[in-house]
Structure 1
Amino acid sequence: MDLLLLLKAAIMGVVEGITEFLPISSTGHLILASELMNFWTKEKSDVFVIAIQMGAIAAVIYEYWAKLWGAATGLVSGEPKGRHLGISLILASIPIMLIGVTFGQTVKELLFNDISVAIGLIVGGLIIWWVEKHPPKVNAQEVENISIKEAVYIGLIQVLALIPGTSRSGATIIGAMMLGVSRKAATEFSFFLGIPVIIGAGVLDLYQSYHVFEGTQDWLVIGFGTLVSFVSALILIRVLVAYVAKRDFMVFAWYRIVSGLIILLFALTGWRLW
């Protein structure tokens, strides 16, 4: 077993767990971390980046099991709150799953690069800054209060997450806030919305690209990275929920803008830090 490869996989898992649910683009950070560490071949690394996101989403399922189970069973039992949340999540998941299946591979081939990541970070940062400076009136305090119409709009906004650097969490959280959803409810809805999207994308990508992996060691590397992302994400989820209860996302706006400009500078000049 290549211990250095496992160490790099662990670092990638930590990066995924920390960034998946923050509005700063987990995919963008993983692409950059992969290039920085010269992690695996590009083919394997691109699949790894998608696959280990399932570890982070497993942390959401673990942390919110009771509420998610209520949404699932509510679809059958008719319990109002659970049924409403379940229908909202299903409808909000449809747009990105349709677009992802149709154009996901093309997007990965064309936009999985540092310039796309930089532009996505900067544009997203400017949008977060604007929303925090002009906060809309809140009409949905809890995740169960999000209307079906709002859920569909959030689902359409989530399609932007196919562009590296945009951030699925950033798009859904800020998009929900623009529609009048509270910061806490927007964050939780973003958590839940990631479940079908990320699991679907991970399974599809592994199915389409399993041939690039060679033997048991490669799959152990993916498994180890996924486990590390689960633990890291579980910690981050608890910290983030406490954070958004008291603070805004302005720090992430500035982080995105500054880091995007630095990445763009290095990409356009050809300078390297490594």
Structure 2
Amino acid sequence: MERGQEVDIFSSIIMGIVEGLTEFLPVSSTGHMIITAHLLGLSTDQENVKTFEVVVQLGAVLAVVVLYWRTFVGFFTVKPGDRVMPRLNLLHIFLAMLPASITAVLFRDVIKQYLFGPTTVVYSLIAGGLLMIAAEKWHMKPTAQTVDDITYKQAFMIGLFQILALWPGFSRSGSTISGGLLARVSHTAAAEFTFLVSVPIMFGATALDLWKSADILSVKDIPYFAIGLLTSFCVGMLAIKTFLSLLKKWKLSTFAYYRFGLALVLLFIIL
């Protein structure tokens, strides 16, 4: 991995902090990672830099596993009330991750070739912001107040919106929370469901990317990958709790306006 010539530990830490802070905010972690790499002088055309941007996301996702471990354990246990009122289970997760997973596998090379870059991030920041404003304006009264209230149909609808997150800058949480609102899921439930669905998605994406990029990675990349992953994990633990608190005070459109401002700044810095 190169920063001009080579990346240093400082760059890995900065990238990890940015990832941990933005993975769970609807402002696009991938978009911020691409922008940060650009400002640090890293070449986003390098395959190992692209892979680093995917792998470091796994650190933030591991934070979800730690914070929601009881929920994940619950997927494999049966509660007496399940026969009366179905709770969140693995089928919900499967339905939500299916659309984006299939799309990512089929179009992985196309996405990395044409959608990863500072210019495309500007456009997706704007498009994602418009979707968030629309979802906030037109969503109806929620029928699912908690993740256990989410139906299979709502889970699949959220999954369809998650396809948009394959466009760097669009934001996984932004697209899925927007989809959740339009599917009549509450802000908090949509956010927590987004966290849970991100775990298998990111584990799969990281494994696939490492496998396909194995021939161009080297031993010297491992320390940078590890430092970035560990940093994003620690920061992500704090970011999750903070974001859930902010959702109780701020509308989704607040984050949309931030995205517009960021896009405007990028137009001057990058273009």
Give the corresponding residue for 1:271.
Answer: none
1:5–1:78 distance in 2 versus 1, CA, 3 Å: farther
The residue correspondences of 1:1-274 to structure 2 (distance < 5 A) are 5-39=8-42, 42-74=46-78, 79=82, 84-215=88-219, 217-268=220-271
For the residues of structure 2 that align with 1:88 and 1:206, how far apart are their CA atoms? 27
1:190–1:13 distance in 2 versus 1, CA, 3 Å: same
Hey, which of these two has a bigger chunk of helix by percent?
1
Q: Identity of aligned pairs, percent?
A: 37
For the residues of structure 2 that align with 1:4 and 1:50, how far apart are their CA atoms? 16
Cα-Cα RMSD: 2.2
Deviations 1:190-238 (A, max 9, x none): 00110111110011101110222222x3111101100000001110001
Q: Is the 8 A contact 1:71 1:82 kept in 2?
A: no
Structure 2: unaligned runs, 5 residues or longer: none
Give the number of aligned pairs: 265
Q: Is the 8 A contact 1:20 1:26 kept in 2?
A: yes
Q: Is the 8 A contact 1:121 1:165 kept in 2?
A: yes
1:78–1:202 distance in 2 versus 1, CA, 3 Å: farther
For the residues of structure 2 that align with 1:6 and 1:74, how far apart are their CA atoms? 46
Please give the TM-score of this superposition, normalised by the length of structure 2.
Answer: 0.91
Structure 1: unaligned runs, 5 residues or longer: 269-274
For the residues of structure 2 that align with 1:198 and 1:82, how far apart are their CA atoms? 26
3-state SS of 2:184 partner: coil
3-state SS of 2:250 partner: coil
3-state SS of 1:50 partner: helix
For the residues of structure 2 that align with 1:145 and 1:25, how far apart are their CA atoms? 27
3-state SS of 1:138 partner: coil
Q: Is the 8 A contact 2:100 2:162 kept in 1?
A: yes
Please give the TM-score of this superposition, normalised by the length of structure 1.
Answer: 0.90
